[in-house]
Structure 1
Amino acid sequence: MKSKIILIVGVVVLLLAAVGGTWFFMKSSAPVPMPTGAEGEMMAAASPALKAPEYYSLSPSFVVNLQNERGMRFLMIEIELMSRRDDTFNRVEQYEPRIRNDILLFLSKLDREAIATVEQRQKIQEEAMAVINGVLIAESGKGGVDAVYFTKFVVQ
């Protein structure tokens, strides 16, 4: 009889420990209530949520002759664009012929020395982004491309 009471007390203590542990862990992971009213509006204005990045491929690849070469040298680049704004890629698609033209003119001025190092290629990425945003600003009044990525970079 005494062993049954000890067994029952042990089960009750174990059950209370399980309930208490569950409550402790659930309480600490409960969501923090968001402020409402003017306080919530001020916080939302101070820290706007970043939109997930979207990507756009300028395909087909860009192929240009490199300047000042003894033999015929070609540069082939595939370009991907990244933006966090909603309407950017609609405008890129609308003005893509002019964007491709201006990028081709920009890339055709390059020579082998201008693309030799990683730092120079990163500078070319920045300049390509400036070319693209320049077209978008000229045509629609606002840019929107946040980054330019070279997904292929081949010199032959």
Structure 2
Amino acid sequence: MKLMSALLATLLLAGPAWAEEAKKEGEAEAPKVAYVNLTPALVGNYGAGAKLKYFKADISLQTGGPEVAKKVEYHEPLIRNQLIMLFSQQTDDSLNGVENKEKLRQEALKEVQQVLNTEEGAPLVDDLLFNNLIIQP
């Protein structure tokens, strides 16, 4: 009986330590991800012609963690400028359809990574997400 209670006490005391070890291992493996939301949304004109056409894009940038996100936020004005310039060069054809929007997303990601590579020496942004993309032709 004493052996059983000693074993039970050992398991109860060792349980939290074992759980903490497993948690620490899990934390080390969990990827660090942080998102930078470009707020307010990007709004502007696109295309050529007599009629004005508008876009509105809510964009989030996926980074490797909070420290990287701070660096990206520091360069947000330049990133916003480059993205607005990219969007303003689009046409109705380049903004219609899922495939074309995916191409635009990839171009925007490359543009952001190029800006950060020039300014910080590394791309820093892993992905670019359109939270909302509204086109008014």
Normalised-by-shorter TM-score class:
0.7 to 0.9
1:78 alignment partner AA: D
Query: Matches of 1:69 and 1:53 in 2, distance apart?
Result: 42
Structure 2 runs not aligned, ≥5 long: 1-17, 23-27
Percent of residue pairs identical: 25
Higher strand fraction (1 or 2): 2
Partner of 2:36: 56
Query: Matches of 1:132 and 1:85 in 2, distance apart?
Result: 17
Question: Is this contact kept in 2: 1:80–1:148, CA < 8 A?
Answer: yes
Structure 1 runs not aligned, ≥5 long: 1-29, 35-47
Q: Secondary structure at the match of 1:126?
A: helix
Question: Is this contact kept in 1: 2:36–2:73, CA < 8 A?
Answer: no
Give the counterpart of 1:107 among 87, 90, 94. 87
1:59 alignment partner AA: T
Alpha-carbon shift at residue 96 of structure 1 (Å)? 1.0
Number of aligned residues: 113
Provide Cα deviations, 1:38-93, integer angstroms capped at 9, x if missing partner.
xxxxxxxxxx8351422110011111212124422101111011123453211111
Partner of 1:38: none
Q: Secondary structure at the match of 1:51?
A: coil
Question: Is this contact kept in 2: 1:69–1:111, CA < 8 A?
Answer: no
Partner of 1:74: 54
1:79 alignment partner AA: I
TM-score by length of 2: 0.73
Partner of 1:135: 115
TM-score by length of 1: 0.65
Give the counterpart of 2:63 among 61, 64, 83. 83
For CA contacts below 8 A with separation 6 or more, give which structure has more relative contact order. Answer: 2
2:61 alignment partner AA: L
